[in-house]
Amino acid sequence: MSNEPSKQKTVYSIIDIETTGGHKNGNKITEIAIINFDGEKIIEEWSSLINPERNIPKAITYLTGIDNQMVAKAPKFFEVAKKIVQMTEGNVFVAHNVFFDYNFIKHEFAELGYKYQREKLCTVRLARKSLPGHKSYSLGKICQDLGIEIEARHRALGDAKATVELFKHIQKVSPHQVNEIISDEGKKISLPPKLSRAVYDSIPVTPGVYYFYDESGELLYVGKAKELKKRISSHFRPDMKRKKDIELKNKVAHVDYKEMGSEVAALLFECHEIKKMRPPYNRAMNRTRFPYRLVLQKRQSGEFVINLTKTIDEDTHMTFASRLIAEKARDALYRAVLGFNYGSLNFDQARCNIIDKLGVDHYNSMLEKVFTKNLSESVDYEIELPGRHNMEKCVIQIRKRNPVKIIFQSDEDCESIDLHSDQDMMRILSSCFQKFKIKKLFLTENFQ
C-alpha cells in the first residue's frame, strides 16, 4: 500500500449572474447561482435573487424576466457575500465569459471593502480550443449545437446548469485541456512593475479600445482589440524581444479602456483617438499612411491627364498606400474611358487617335466623369452593429464615404461620438465592408 497522500481534487465553482446592465460600473447583480463541481459530480448547488437596491431597466426585465417586484424582498449582496466566499474558497471560478461574472462579483465585494480573488477559467475559451468550428460560442448557440438543454435561459441557475453540462462535455472531449489552460494562466504575462494587478484583473474580454498611461498620467499608446483582455495581455508577454515593446511595457503604470461592442467600431474609434491624441508609441498611425495620390490636370494642349504625385495632405481624395496601388487605380480609370491601361504599348498614340475622333471637349468630359465618380459618392447611409450589451445597438453614420459618428442606442440611453474623418478612416471602413460583410442601411433623408 502506498504511503503517499491522496491528491485533493480540484473543485470548480461554476457561476452565473444576472445584472441590471452590461458593465460593473453603475450596475448591480440581481441573481446569482453557484454550482460546485469536482470534475465528476456536483457537490453543492445554491442560487438566490439579489436586491440590487436600484431600478431594473425594462429591457433587462424583458431579457431575464426579473423585475423590481421579484427582488424587492430578496437579500442584498452584503447578506449573501459570506455564502459566496465560503462556496468558492479555494476553488476555480468558472463561467461562460468568466471576466463578466468575475468582475461584477469582485466589484460588489470591493464596495464592501473586501478583496475577492479567485483562480479563473473561461468556458468560452475552453470551448474555442476544444470544440473548434462552431459559428458561435455564446452559451445559447454552443449548447444548441451540442444538444444541451437550457431550462431557463438568462436566469442564473438555468445558465449555470447548462455551463456545467458544457464543462462536462469539454472534459470528455479534451480531458487535458482544462488543466493545461489553468497551469498556463500564470505563465503568459509578466505585468509591468508599475501596473496594479487589480487594474489588470478588471479588464473585460469584450471588443474595445485601450489606453496605456505612464506614472505621470501621460498617454503612451492607444490600441484596439477584438478581446480587450487578450490583446492587452499580449503587450505583457515575458518573452518579448523588440526594444520598443519592452520599453513601452516598462513605462505602463495604468490601463484604461472603452468597450465598443464590435471590432468594426473599435477599429474606427482607435483611428479617431490616435489622430486626436497622437500617442508617442503609435508611430505607424501617426505618419501619413496614404502618401500617393491621383490628380486630374489639364495639359497646355487642352486635354486632361491623370497624374500620380506624392502628398502629405490627409484630406486629399484618391490617395493610396503605395505607388503600385495608385498605378493600378490609374490604369482602371483610363481603361474605363479608353479601353486600355496607362502603361499599354503606344498609349500616347492610341489616346491621341481617340481624342482626334471624339474631340478634346468630349474626351475631357468622359475622363472627368469617370475620375470624379470615385469622389462624388454623396449618398449618406449608416451601418448597424452589435452594441456593448444585448439591449444596445451601435450605429455608425457615414457621409460622403466618411464615417462621421458612432452612436450607442438602447431604450434607456444614447451615447454619440463624433469621429475625425480622414483617408485612414475611409480605408478602414472600406476594408471592413469586405472583411465583415457589412450591409449598408440607406437613409431617405440626410442625417444631422
Assign residue 113 a region (left: φ > 0; alpha: ψ between -120 and 50; beta: otherwise).
Answer: left
* Helix, strand, coil % over all residues of the chain, rounded to 5: 40, 20, 40
Distance CA 357, CA 155 (A): 76
Distance CA 423, CA 436 (A): 20
From the DSSP assignment, how many helices (H) and strands (E) are in the chain? 17, 16
All three cell numbers of 147: 444538444
In three-state secondary structure terms, 188 is coil
Cβ–Cβ under 8 Å, residues 41 and 52:
no
SS (H, E, C) 252-276: CCEEEEEECCCHHHHHHHHHHHHHH
Distance of CA 161 to the CA centre of its chain: 28
Cβ–Cβ under 8 Å, residues 231 and 225:
yes
| H or E segment to which residue 435 belongs | helix 423-436
All three cell numbers of 329: 487605380
Distance CA 136, CA 376 (A): 39
Residue with cell 456545467: 164
Closest by Cα among 370, 368, 346, 366 to 357: 366
| H or E segment to which residue 404 belongs | strand 402-409
In three-state secondary structure terms, 18 is strand
| H or E segment to which residue 298 belongs | strand 292-298
User: Does 154 participate in catalysis according to the annotation?
Assistant: yes
- Please tell me which residue in 96, 154, 169, 235 is annotated as part of the active site: 154
Which are the catalytic amino acids?
154
